[in-house]
Amino acid sequence: MKAIVISAHGGPEVLTVTDVPDPVAATGEVLIRVKAIGLNHAEAYMRSGAWGRVAAVPGIECAGLVEADPSGELPLGTKVVAILGGMGRTRNGSYAELVTVPATNVVPVNSDLPWADLAAVPEVYATAYSALHGNLALKAGDTLLVRGATSSLGQAAVNLAVHHGATVLATTRNPANAALLKELGASDVLIDDGQLAAEVGRRGLAVGALLDIVGNTVLRDSLATVGPRGRVCQVGFLGGFEPVAHFDPIADLPSGVQLSFFGSAFVLGTPAFPLTDVPLDEIYAQVEAGTLRARPTRIFRFDEIVEAHRVMEAGRALGKMVVTLD
């Protein structure tokens, strides 16, 4: 089969289309014929070496058809999506014509959406849903701030939170993106210069929950942005991986404010965080109905993977990008 391989750690140009042996599903795994692949910043981190030693074939999600299931639970040809389960990290991932995935990380889908649309949903929507409901316990009527909202994960969070009945404040570093976030349902858009707490205070806004996709570089400011007994959940590292230097809970964590982290790459599909908790079929139905705007912003061919990564790294995606194999 053909697969996209990390030939060496580096820039997008190290991704090469290569012939590799077909994988075989072992007990507890499902073999999937890949039809479309969702692109994620995680794959850029893997490719660059930021995450250390990883599998040769990147890719943490896909949509496709069951090619084999030793358990017999999923018949040949079943339409599925697959998320994480070590793909791209500890095992070869979805940048390939065929991929094996732990059965716990494979979900059959009942949707007539095209393959590219199916692949645009799993990772970002499963992550956003889990963080909003599991970590932040978001309720209708809450005021949520999504920091890093123009990312594909940020847009998914805005979509889901607005649909859930929350008032959503969204941030972007580029004022030109404000219209996009308003179209998604954000009630207000704040320009993020790293000092959101001061801006929220000047505007007299009351933020009860904050989903932080920017990460460690703004963590102290995010904690100061929420009100008393507010909740902050960190889900991304768009600002970089450097740890928060000299973090002191006494000085940096306001009394009553709750801080949590959701690392989807490590836990989704495990017994503590089963994918059955994420209503993917309901989400796909809402995408089909137009209630959720989750369709890909750009679609690339398999042999255009280098250009796709260049666009992603340049921050020009403005949403979810997808690679199709047909």
Q: What is the CATH number of the domain that holds 178?
A: 3.40.50.720
Could you tell me which of 115, 183, 136, 175 has the C-alpha nearest to residue 155? 183
Number of domains in the chain: 2
Beta bridge partners of 300: 323
**Per-residue pLDDT, 4:** 98
Q: Are residues 303 and 248 in the same domain?
A: no
Q: What whole-number distance in Å separates Cα of residue 234 and Cα of residue 220?
A: 12
Q: Does residue 275 sit within a domain?
A: no
The reported pTM is 0.96
**Containing domain of residue 98, as a range?**
2-120+295-324
Q: Show the low-confidence residues of the chain (pLDDT under 50).
A: none
| Residue 148 burial (CB count, 10 A) | 25
What are the two backbone dihedrals, phi and then psi, of residue 293, each rounded to the nearest 5 degrees?
A: -95, 90
Q: Are residues 138 and 169 in the same domain?
A: yes
**Per-residue pLDDT, 241:** 86
Q: Are residues 155 and 244 in the same domain?
A: yes
**Per-residue pLDDT, 258:** 97
Q: Does residue 277 sit within a domain?
A: no
Q: Are residues 101 and 65 in the same domain?
A: yes
Q: Are residues 111 and 132 in the same domain?
A: no
* Predicted confidence (pLDDT) per residue in 68-111, tens digit: 999 999 999 999 999 999 999 999 999 999 999 999 999 999 99
Q: Are residues 112 and 224 in the same domain?
A: no
Q: Does residue 222 sit within a domain?
A: yes
**Per-residue pLDDT, 51:** 87
Q: Does residue 183 sit within a domain?
A: yes
